[in-house]
Structure 1
Amino acid sequence: MKHDRTLTTAAGPIFPDFLQWAKEAGESRDTILEIEKVATRLDLTDEELDLIPADLSYFEKVVAASPYGAVSRSKNLEAARNRGNSRVRAALGRFLAACGQQPSDAGARASHDRAIDFIAANEGFVEGGAHFTTGTHRPFLLVRARARLALPDLDQAEFDRLWHDATPDGRKSLRKFARRVEELRRGHNLWPELADLLPREDFEVPAVSDRARRLPWDSLPAEFRADAEEVFRQTLRQPSDMKEWAREQMRFGRSAVEIDAEIAARVGDKKKKLPKNIETALAGYRQATTWLLRESHAPETGFAGLGTLRDAFTTDALEAACAAQIARSAASPTLKDADESSTLWSRFTNLTTIARHGLRDPEILARIRLVRMFHADYVLSPIEMTADAEAICNRLRKSPHLAAAFVNAPARLGDISAKELATASTDFAKDRALRLSACAAAYTIQVSRALRPANLFMTRRRATPSCPRNLTWIADREHAELRFSGGEVKNGETLVVNVLGDDAKVLWQWDKVDRPKLMKLRGLHESPYLFPGTAAPRLRKSSLNLPGGCMSVASILELWDLGDRQLGLGLTPHQCRHALATLLLAVKPGAFGTVASVLANTEQVAKRHYGKDSGEAAAVAVRAALLERHPDIFARMQRRT
């Protein structure tokens, strides 16, 4: 787990020290209970509490973002988690102040309160005479909770610290805070009461450090790009291209023996598996190439001396790229551990393919193999990545009520959406309620037959030229069918999902009622996608002419996170596949063929992910626990399968 590595190298006070201080200092019972829940939230035992550093940065990035469903069955899990996080955060600040690691924030908080109170008191409709639009004060709340300085004394160094400690959502708030401060400082003549309460300088938003420096393909020299594209074309040479090339060579008078030998050399010793999506393959080759160049060519020096793709494949460049990838992962609690990520495997696979079939250079191929061997501990193929699946299975086994929450997610999110929409008085509240309806619809599909995220969020409810629809209503409100052709599924298999009964009602509510409302609210005129937006598909399918109008990846993640905060599951869209597999094995222990069929995988992959060691015994334990607590859960699951 990411936090295990961070914890073993952490210095300073740890959570047992924090907990002991809380008890001795007379902190409230609720606060102490929230501190004790942290171990369970991170899937640790009480004895392993000493692995958690008593550090505000770690708390914000790891603890505060962890799922809450395992420690609470509140009807409003989002509010319960926010309340629990607030109690632990405030107590942790007092503990660190008592340890002399940060100053007392009582005076600093009061200065933030004065500015926030003034802004909030003057919010409303600007057309009606209000000074500020509703919500102007919200970004100030995060800064008030975490800043160590009074608001007028807040400087760039403190802003940088807040940025470094923040989660991705927190950084969005900090961006808004920086904009708000700039706007308010420029309008000081309009609000003289506020002038002395604001920071004395504007803030510059730091570059994101967790991710690598972006290196656009178009920024590379034109001569290099032209050479690389030709190599990629050779790499992706199709059988029809090879036949035409061979005929052309024979017309030039070359001997059949020479042509046959060159074809054999191009194909290589092993049978080449041609990619089904040429555009995706090209994107992978370009990404691997920029990954290789990023560390070996600094921004200040540019790409001097870089003429051909062959020049980029040096041992030093390969070593530097690997070292930087591993270091980025080690330094960030938000990225996967290098030995739990398939990034290096993906990069080496693409580079090997280019060297073998495009450059056809044994020396470069040998270099890649050697550097890959040097970093073999971090070259993990997606097939070997079973830790994620095991973690989901264990979580469901330890907390059977989470399995029930997963199965009942569509109805629960649908109910929350309906209640919030009925009471929504602002566009912000309506947008939130409608997005919850969208997440409920996504869950109706995932609990029926969990799709890969690319298929789930590219689902089309209407056909466009050269692109058929996926969603068909067999019976209104009762039966929806989603059909995906082999050309748009990862392993090339046709995939059909049937959404029935109560789940169909939730999907109908989104498709026919709430989706049009959200599109009108957001000013979206038309979109063929079930989940509409303004983005274009990231990886277009060669067999389909996918139109624009889908959600961006960022919007999808925000949508899903909004729903997960209500459920407390801590699942991503892809991890729903692991959850569904666990439940299926609970219904039918050892039925890996069924799991493979439902997930559109092979039985070998299903066994590798879900059949390790005592996998069947674990499934039996899940079944027994679930039947004891939720006797109707498997009747619903049987109907879905």
Structure 2
Amino acid sequence: MFPDFLKWAKESGESRDTIYEIEKVAARLDLTDDELDLVPADLGYFEKVVAVSPYGAVSRSKNLDTARKRGNSRIRTALERFLAARGQGTPDTAVRASYDRVIGFMVDNEGFADRGALFTTSTHKPFLLVRARARLSLPDLDQPEFDRLWHDATPDGRKSLRKFAQRIGKLRRGHNRWPELADLLPRQDFVAPAPSDRARRIEWQSLPAPFRSDAEEVFRETLRQPADMKDWAKEQLRLGRSAVEIDAEIAARVGKEKKKKPPKNIDSALAGYRQATTWLLRESHSPETGFAGLATLRELFTAEALEAACSAQIARSAASISLKNANKSSTLWSRFTNLTTIARHGLRDPEILARIGLVRMFNADYVLLPSEMTEDAEAICDRLRKSPHLAAAFVNAPARLGAISTEALEAASTDFARERALRLSACAAAYSVQVSRALRPANLFMIRRKATPGCPRNLTWIADGQHAEICFSGGEVKNGQTVIVNVQGDDARILWQWDRVDRPKLMKLRGIESSPYLFPGTANPRLRKAALNLPAGCMSVASIMELWDLGDRQLGLGLTPHQCRHALATLMLAVRPGDFANVASVLANTEEVARRHYGKDSGEAAAVAVREALLAHHPDIFARMKRRT
């Protein structure tokens, strides 16, 4: 465990800076020094949990990204030496040398392909990760060792490993072009394994056609709206059925079983029903047996299938260090809600409905409503209360990222450097919105600066570079409330810089011809709004998270786009202790939700500590916050 590692570092004469970095790990993970024994001294755990943890709580460096990389490197190399001393060796000199020869050959022959280079620039980079982690020499590298590297890697590391596997395949197939490498390469190609902490994915189109047809019909029945029933009744009258029969059937369909609230987004509801169905299928039908014989949705709803799906979900959460604990996740609630809706309004089967209810009761400890998930909000609020400089970093995030972007763009000499600088400008613009009125991520990254057929714009410049208004109608917001964001002052100038200056540059650099979105891309919206004809041209979820992570590495806050809502609420309660109605209005929530998330101590006690510390270091911060609210 890490206390053993720390003790070894002190006794073996590791540098003072390295020891300091090891001692910072507890604070980075929001643990006390006495709780450091909860952290295993394991390279895989370090890469997945410690290395990616926020660094702003333990450093006030002007370049937090560089400081974090330097600190992680010191811990990583010391940890490798510690494990080697314990007989859990790291790659020896001969192993590393087997990679050096291939890497050296590629580096010497990288450049522009149209100028005669054998490889494009940076072809060798994925090999660096494997050289640092592999226990086998490159010619002896096999699939089990590749699997070990994969399961120990971070998401970014897995991207490099996937590129490594692709390039090994290309190099092996090109043995006639590069005979110098023939004897230095592995004897096999590599396949990226399925993530161990993620469920096996089942594509809806891979299911038998009769089953899909039956399920889609049940889903249509489940989603039947009052207007659909009217059309059906008129059609039945035209066919000659008596009004009494039609009325009786309508009463049977929607009488006692009438939905409390029909879904606002049919596509989203349908996606939820499909996910719940494949969730049940995953454990009741193995990949070996396939889905042969599966004909109707009704036959899937057995107590055994429901229990198996719940047990597998709980086991996956317990075995993973990256997934939430099952008793702190709303996944089971979501699955049971969709299955209950299907059983009640689609299948209309009391036995299946009761069966789902019983299995839900058996697993009640793990069926957590989203409204009960306050732990994430509490953790963010506590972090800001304990570290006022983080609160100041959040409020000043747009200006900080804007300045870094400008400096990086001026110094950029390659397309890669220019693209990185422009992405930082995009992140600064996103933060300028979030510190003004923190939006849900689905709204933030769907902001449209231009109208398209059937879809209005959200962004309007009231005064160029000084005041922007971003408006979302109720149909675009999760709870149906209309949301208006006013971005003014310095934040408006940052948003203008991105919207009118840097955004066109990034689009040209990436080859994006046109996009109505403030944050452009080439993807389609994941969940289209029923009331809007959302166009293509937005960023994918993966691109959004990469963009946000790039900015967060400069700030060290460790916040996701959604967690900015918690941060803003904490600061608002510091300005106006106990004013949950104001928090609710800014976040477009109800006062009850705001009090549940942020009313742990009614706000007053925490506000005093955060207020005094913030005013001592940043006298103008509350004036800025009051302008926002």
Residues 444 and 506 of structure 1 are in contact (CA less than 8 Å); yes or no, is this contact kept in structure 2? Answer: yes
State the partner residue of 1:216.
Answer: 203
2:435 match: secondary structure: helix
Question: Whole-Å Cα distance in 1 between the matches of residues 316 and 138 of structure 2?
Answer: 33
| Alpha-carbon spacing, 1:186–1:236, altered in 2? closer, same or farther (3 Å) | closer
Question: Whole-Å Cα distance in 2 between the matches of residues 44 and 106 of structure 1?
Answer: 37
* Counterpart amino acid of residue 596 in structure 2: R
* Counterpart amino acid of residue 170 in structure 2: E
| Alpha-carbon spacing, 1:103–1:86, altered in 2? closer, same or farther (3 Å) | closer
List runs of 5+ in structure 2 lacking aligned partners: none
Provide Cα deviations, 1:56-86, integer angstroms capped at 9, x if missing partner: 1111111111111111111111111111111
Residues 94 and 104 of structure 1 are in contact (CA less than 8 Å); yes or no, is this contact kept in structure 2? Answer: no
Residues 105 and 149 of structure 1 are in contact (CA less than 8 Å); yes or no, is this contact kept in structure 2? Answer: no
State the partner residue of 1:598.
Answer: 586
Match of 2:214 among 227, 234, 242: 227
1:139 aligns with 2:126: yes
Q: How does 1:102-181 map to 2 (within 5 A)?
A: 102-103=89-90, 105-181=92-168
Residues 165 and 190 of structure 2 are in contact (CA less than 8 Å); yes or no, is this contact kept in structure 1? Answer: yes
1:585 aligns with 2:573: yes
Which deviates more from structure 2 when the two are superposed, residues 189-198 or residues 68-77? 189-198
State the partner residue of 1:38.
Answer: 25
Match of 2:58 among 60, 67, 71: 71
State the Cα distance separating 1:557 from its structure 2 match: 0.8
State the partner residue of 2:2.
Answer: 15
State the Cα distance separating 1:240 from its structure 2 match: 2.1
1:449 match: secondary structure: coil
1:284 aligns with 2:284: no
Which deviates more from structure 2 when the two are superposed, residues 185-194 or residues 405-414? 185-194
State the Cα distance separating 1:116 from its structure 2 match: 3.0
List runs of 5+ in structure 1 lacking aligned partners: 1-13
State the Cα distance separating 1:357 from its structure 2 match: 1.1
1:498 match: secondary structure: strand
| Alpha-carbon spacing, 1:410–1:254, altered in 2? closer, same or farther (3 Å) | same
Provide Cα deviations, 1:575-595, integer angstroms capped at 9, x if missing partner: 111111111111111010011
State the partner residue of 1:100.
Answer: 87
Provide Cα deviations, 1:409-429, integer angstroms capped at 9, x if missing partner: 111111111111111111111
Question: Whole-Å Cα distance in 1 between the matches of residues 252 and 588 of structure 2?
Answer: 34
State the Cα distance separating 1:266 from its structure 2 match: 3.1
Question: Whole-Å Cα distance in 2 between the matches of residues 235 and 181 of structure 1?
Answer: 50
Provide Cα deviations, 1:411-454, integer angstroms capped at 9, x if missing partner: 11111111111111111111111111111111111110011111
State the Cα distance separating 1:634 from its structure 2 match: 1.1
* Counterpart amino acid of residue 57 in structure 2: A
Residues 70 and 568 of structure 1 are in contact (CA less than 8 Å); yes or no, is this contact kept in structure 2? Answer: yes
Which deviates more from structure 2 when the two are superposed, residues 223-232 or residues 561-570? 223-232
Question: Whole-Å Cα distance in 2 between the matches of residues 28 and 284 of structure 1?
Answer: 53
State the partner residue of 2:492.
Answer: 504
Question: Whole-Å Cα distance in 1 between the matches of residues 620 and 141 of structure 2?
Answer: 56
Provide Cα deviations, 1:141-177, integer angstroms capped at 9, x if missing partner: 2222222233333222221111010011110011111
Question: Whole-Å Cα distance in 1 between the matches of residues 236 and 191 of structure 2?
Answer: 60
| Alpha-carbon spacing, 1:218–1:268, altered in 2? closer, same or farther (3 Å) | farther
Question: Whole-Å Cα distance in 1 between the matches of residues 14 and 602 of structure 2?
Answer: 43
State the Cα distance separating 1:271 from its structure 2 match: 5.1
* Counterpart amino acid of residue 288 in structure 1: A
State the partner residue of 1:457.
Answer: 445
Provide Cα deviations, 1:464-522, integer angstroms capped at 9, x if missing partner: 00100001111111011101111111111111101111111111111111111111111
* Counterpart amino acid of residue 535 in structure 1: A
Provide Cα deviations, 1:543-587, integer angstroms capped at 9, x if missing partner: 000010111111111111111111111111111111111111111
Provide Cα deviations, 1:11-40, integer angstroms capped at 9, x if missing partner: xxx110000011111111111111111111
Q: Give the length in aligned residue pairs.
A: 627
1:34 match: secondary structure: helix
State the Cα distance separating 1:299 from its structure 2 match: 2.2
TM-score where L is the length of structure 2: 0.96
Q: How does 1:475-490 map to 2 (within 5 A)?
A: 475-490=463-478
Question: Whole-Å Cα distance in 1 between the matches of residues 215 and 15 of structure 2?
Answer: 64
Residues 249 and 259 of structure 1 are in contact (CA less than 8 Å); yes or no, is this contact kept in structure 2? Answer: no
Question: Whole-Å Cα distance in 1 between the matches of residues 143 and 433 of structure 2?
Answer: 46
- Aligned Cα root-mean-square deviation (Å): 1.8
Match of 1:61 among 48, 51, 72: 48
1:482 match: secondary structure: strand
Question: Whole-Å Cα distance in 2 between the matches of residues 313 and 195 of structure 1?
Answer: 55
Residues 267 and 357 of structure 1 are in contact (CA less than 8 Å); yes or no, is this contact kept in structure 2? Answer: no
State the Cα distance separating 1:269 from its structure 2 match: 5.6
State the Cα distance separating 1:262 from its structure 2 match: 5.2
Question: Whole-Å Cα distance in 1 between the matches of residues 544 and 90 of structure 2?
Answer: 39
| Alpha-carbon spacing, 1:441–1:267, altered in 2? closer, same or farther (3 Å) | farther
Provide Cα deviations, 1:168-212, integer angstroms capped at 9, x if missing partner: 111001111122223333444555554554434332222222221
Question: Whole-Å Cα distance in 1 between the matches of residues 466 and 147 of structure 2?
Answer: 53
Residues 266 and 360 of structure 1 are in contact (CA less than 8 Å); yes or no, is this contact kept in structure 2? Answer: no
TM-score where L is the length of structure 1: 0.94
Question: Whole-Å Cα distance in 2 between the matches of residues 228 and 432 of structure 1?
Answer: 46
Match of 2:558 among 556, 559, 570: 570
